[in-house]
Amino acid sequence: SQTIHQWPATLVQPVGSPLSLECTVEGTSNPNLYWYRQAAGRGLQLLFYSVGIGQISSEVPQNLSASRPQDRQFILSSKKLLLSDSGFYLCAWSRDNVLFFGSGTQLSVL
Amino acid sequence: RKEVEQDPGPFNVPEGATVAFNCTYSNSASQSFFWYRQDCRKEPKLLMSVYSSGNEDGRFTAQLNRASQYISLLIRDSKLSDSATYLCVVYSSASKIIFGSGTRLSIRP
């Protein structure tokens, strides 16, 4: 069966520090992969999606970037975090138009 | 106008009650529709897909009305464990999966 792993679960970072969140999927090949962000009390905002290795599409302009160095690995990064980057970050993969999420990373930028 | 709109609630109903949520969408070319459930500080989890003919899963019934561009979720005989936020999701393409902002449901004893 397919599983998705995301880490860390929580992260507290100072403004201006770098960020790296990692997500891996097991049990499937060439999945579509996604990064979403959910601000407190808000809906999910699509940040990036990828249909294959090295193929990244960005949905919103921001100081975040994403990379897909391997088929089942998706990384979200930032060189310098802003206060507004705080939120709940979710990695997901899709099958038959359905999204399956990792357990999320709660990021607090202070 | 938002692409997917939901009543944010909160809906506060007694245990055993029937509660219904609606969700409207703007893109008539949307292909697939889903309801997700999200508990506090947790990831969203698929509750059920929504089909044009309507579908039922135990106490949950989902309906799609393409002509009026809305989907609905009905929960019968609500349980305390049904307390959560319910997210409406509309799929138009691999790059266009839009989430509603969610409807909060609280079931009281």
Q: By CA distance, what is B103's nearest residue in A?
A: A43
At residue B80, the 3 state secondary structure works out as helix
Length of chain A: 110
DSSP secondary structure code for residue A77 in this structure = E
Give pLDDT, residue A39. 86
How would you classify the pairing of strands A32-38 and A87-95?
Answer: antiparallel
pLDDT at A21 over 90: yes
DSSP secondary structure code for residue B16 in this structure = T
Token pair 């305390």 in the structure block, residue: B80
Asked whether the beta carbons of residue A43 and residue B31 sit closer than 8 angstroms, the reply is no
DSSP secondary structure code for residue A29 in this structure = S
Low pLDDT (below 50) residues in chain B: none
Q: By CA distance, what is B93's nearest residue in A?
A: A97
- The tens digit of pLDDT for each residue in A34-58 reads 999 998 877 899 999 999 999 999 8
* Chain B residues inside the 8 Å CB shell of A107: none
- The tens digit of pLDDT for each residue in B69-100 reads 999 999 999 999 999 999 999 998 888 899 99
Q: How buried is B76 (Cβ within 10 angstroms: 0-12 exposed, 13-18 middle, 19+ buried)?
A: middle
- Going by C-beta distance under 8 Å and a sequence separation of 6 or more, which residues neighbour residue A36? A44, A45, A46, A47, A89, A90, A91, A92, A101, B99
Residue from the list A57, A94, A106 with its beta carbon closest to the beta carbon of B41 = A106
Q: Min CA distance, B109 vs chain A (Å)?
A: 25
pLDDT at A61 over 70: no
Report the C-alpha gap between A65 and A78 in whole angstroms.
6
Report the C-alpha gap between B31 and A12 in whole angstroms.
39
Q: Min CA distance, B99 vs chain A (Å)?
A: 6
- Going by C-beta distance under 8 Å and a sequence separation of 6 or more, which residues neighbour residue A2? A25, A26, A27, A28, A93, A95, A100
Give pLDDT, residue B84. 97
How many beta-carbon contacts under 8 Å exist across A and B? 46
